[in-house]
Amino acid sequence: MKFCRTNKMVIASVVMSLVAAATVMADDEIVAPVIVDQPKSVSVKAGARVTFSVNAVETTDSREDFTVGFPDGTTLDMIYCAPGSFTMGSPEDEMGRDDREDLHKVILTQGFWLGKYELTQGQYKAVMGGYPKAFRETDSEGMTNPYVGDNKPIIYVTWREALDFCAKLTEIEQAAGRLSKFYKYTLPTEAQWEYACRAGTQTPLYSGAELTSMSICPNVDALAWYGGNEIFLHPVGLKEANCWGFYDMVGNAEEMCLDYWVEHLGIATATDPYYVAEEGSCVGRGGCFDSFSRFSWEYARTCRSAFRRSFSRTGAYGNGGFRVALVPNEYKVRKPTVPVLPEPEE
């Protein structure tokens, strides 16, 4: 803005007062707004008055991992993922690659927290008071189903039920004063999921190893419960974590993401991508304990960090679960568009 010296001083003090007034204390951490939009330069005559608005979003100085505690003693461990960029998808020469894994750069401008483990049955019950609608504790003969276990991933849950869980957890934590109104629990976007899964790696497996077979691969055994070692649901956290501390990012239960399914993400750089649509499937990531694809058993290929597939939003399956994310309220919503794909070779 162009002002005389006196007006500059007045406006500067007003802006500083606004920012100071907007800074609040939450327990022992400072929660302060970050300006995301402000007035453009204008010229005014001496003595004239001008009004303007500043749009801000809240951020927090705290970037630590934390644990959510429930009255029944159940806990939920959350790991912080700092803003950054990575290469999403897979190169054309990667074993087991699918042509829907377009290789492209992704920039995540906001940090987020993600569950250290897949959400468990015990955690789901602690928040929702029971199992998902399609979940059955006993079989037709009254015997306990083998997939039941408080430390095993929640399965037979729909995409909507997963979001309902996240909304309920948000409500509980905000009502208890433990969560800022500017944040919410939800499902991770597909980009956030792969960013956390890769944890800085660009190899097919997040351990840094390559795939030696698309069906049974010794390099997968240490990371995942998958069709190549035991076709059964297991308690979380029994395999090796990636270098950021996340367990079972591949294998065990397949994980639903927030995004609607888009066949091709394209090769153009994407910033904070989140795809929405009027209808359609959601995204499934990480494979599962009985993964197969295209009618041929290809267990190991589904344990690659880049593996993605369409997952019904209304279905509730015995191999499908989810992982909880904590994010700022505002998403940069991006409608699915025609992807930028390479020109065909002549």
Residues 6 or more apart whose Cβ sits within 8 Å of residue 119: 76, 153, 154, 165, 321, 322, 323, 324
pLDDT for the residue 10: 33
Indicate whether 142 and 29 sit together in one domain: no
CA-to-CA distance for 179 and 114, rounded, in angstroms?
A: 15
| Residue 70 identity (one-letter amino acid) | F
The reply to whether 218 and 305 lie within a common domain is yes
pLDDT of residue 12: 33
Domain end position, chosen among 35, 60, 85: 60
Asked whether residue 333 is assigned to any structural domain, the reply reads: no
Does 78 lie in the same domain as 52?
no
Give a yes or no: residue 313 inside a domain: yes
Which structural domain, as residue segments, surrounds residue 17?
A: 5-60
pLDDT by residue (tens digit) across 222-249? 999 998 898 899 999 999 999 999 999 9
Tokens describing residue 67 = 């644990």
Helices (H), 49-186: 121-128, 159-175
Q: Are strands 308-311 and 112-115 parallel, antiparallel or unpaired?
A: unpaired
Q: What is the mean pLDDT of residues 194-199?
A: 98
Q: Is residue 215 part of a domain?
A: yes
High-pLDDT (> 90) share of the chain, %: 68
pLDDT at 202 over 70: yes
Same domain, 144 and 31: no
Residue 342 lies in a domain: no
Same domain, 197 and 95: yes
Residue 158 in any domain: the answer is yes
Could you tell me if 114 and 33 lie in one domain?
no
Residue 237 sits in the same domain as residue 281: yes
Report which of 176, 182, 163 is spatially closest to residue 62, judged by C-alpha positions: 182
Is 188 inside any structural domain? yes
Per the domain annotation, does 279 fall within a domain?
Answer: yes
- What mean pLDDT comes out for the span 51-75? 72
Give the integer Cα–Cα distance in Å for 191 and 271: 10
What digits encode the pLDDT tens for the residues 292-334? 655 467 789 999 999 999 999 999 999 999 999 999 987 555 5
CA-angle at 151, arms to 261 and 217, nearest 5°: 60
Cα separation, 304 vs 310, in Å, equals 16
pLDDT in the model for residue 72: 85
In angstroms, rounded to a whole number, what is the distance separating the alpha carbons of residues 305 and 308?
9
The count of structural domains within the chain is 2
Type of residue at 31: V
Select from 150, 69, 79 the least CA-distant residue to 113.
79
Pair (115, 201) in one structural domain: yes
User: What pTM value is reported for the model?
Assistant: 0.80
Residues 97 and 171 in one domain: yes
**CATH number, domain containing residue 161:** 3.90.1580.10
The pLDDT tens digits of the residues spanning 120-140 come to: 999 999 999 999 999 999 998
| 74 lies in the same domain as 153 | yes
In a domain, 167, yes or no: yes
Residues 79 and 44 occupy one common structural domain = no
Residues 17, 118, single domain; the answer is: no
Give the tens place of pLDDT for each residue, 64-100.
999 999 878 899 999 999 999 999 999 999 999 999 9
